[in-house]
Amino acid sequence: MTLPLFEAGGDPGPNFAALLSVAGLTPPVPASPTDQLNIVHATTVVAIRCSEGVVMAGDRRATAGNLISHRSIEKVFPADRHSGVAIAGAAGPAMEMVRLFQLQLEHYEKVEGKALSLDGKANQLGMMVRNNLPAALQGFAVVPLFAGYDTTRDVGRLFQYDVTGGRYEEREYAVMGSGSLHAGTVIKLGYQPNASTDTMIDLAVSALYRTAEEDAATGGPDLVRGIYPVVAVLSVDGFQRVEDTEVEHRFRDLLVSLNNEQANTR
């Protein structure tokens, strides 16, 4: 395969998405809104600021209508070393968007010799969501969360989007997906400014557990199969996924705490 050649005025430069478009490799949009497709949806994801950066978490269930299509899908991914993205909405297009986003950031860094700024990454993801609008109008909506550690400001930052590509920076937390109302309520009641990472991980775990009790599309911890939500921390040390054994331990501690509360109220 030979590399494409461009004239001076048509060189896409470090923009990988533009490179795909110029080369005619843009993923196709479904042709008709009447196409009967079994669309798999991913929910629920959360991002919470903490003293060291940002905690991101997502449940593992994917649904197709009223059916559970997957029990162990992953919804939280590293975008590059210091940023991550969590997906909600149509699972297939969302995962494709994440892969393209990862390639875009890697391509930019190789061409420019430095990483794109956190604001630039957030804007790039917003453009991808905006480009997906025709598909969203046909039922393939993708609504990600984006978070990262801003090395120029030494602080964690998080962003959420709407289907039109609108980018909104949040100061404390952000939630997305079918269980966002329940998860947002739990986080709002338990959020503490500048709380430790451990405290915010526990809050994210609690939010997903309580959301799973109310929202059928959100999966809670599966103690039988050993499936637990994906939890990651974005700090000055970069994107670090919390081990499943630690997440399991935190869920078991939560269950013990809830059982004790119920026993005390009897």
* Cβ-contact 49, 197 below 8 angstroms: no
Look up 43 and say whether it is catalytic. Answer: yes
Distance between CA atoms of residues 210 and 56, nearest Å = 17
Burial tier of 240 (Cβ tally within 10 Å: 0-12, 13-18, 19+): middle
The whole-number pLDDT of residue 28 equals: 46
In whole angstroms, how far apart are CA 39 and each of 35, 67, 178, 217, 229? Answer: 11, 11, 15, 14, 22
Residues 6+ apart with CB under 8 A from 162: 129, 143, 168
Q: Where are the domains of the chain?
A: 38-257
The whole-number pLDDT of residue 33 equals: 44
Residues 6+ apart with CB under 8 A from 59: 43, 44, 45, 75, 179, 208, 211, 212, 218, 219, 220, 229
Catalytic residue among 2, 26, 34, 43: 43
The whole-number pLDDT of residue 32 equals: 44
Distance between CA atoms of residues 156 and 158, nearest Å = 7
The whole-number pLDDT of residue 65 equals: 84
Q: Which CATH class is domain 38-257?
A: alpha beta
Distance between CA atoms of residues 53 and 209, nearest Å = 23
The whole-number pLDDT of residue 255 equals: 93
The whole-number pLDDT of residue 261 equals: 80
Residues 6+ apart with CB under 8 A from 256: none
pLDDT one-digit tens code per residue, 64-116: 888 999 999 999 999 999 999 999 999 999 999 999 999 999 999 999 999 99
What spatial distance separates the first Cα and last Cα of the chain, rounded to whole Å? Answer: 71
Report residues of the chain scoring pLDDT below 70. Answer: 1-6, 8-9, 16-17, 20, 23-38, 266
Distance between CA atoms of residues 18 and 169, nearest Å = 25
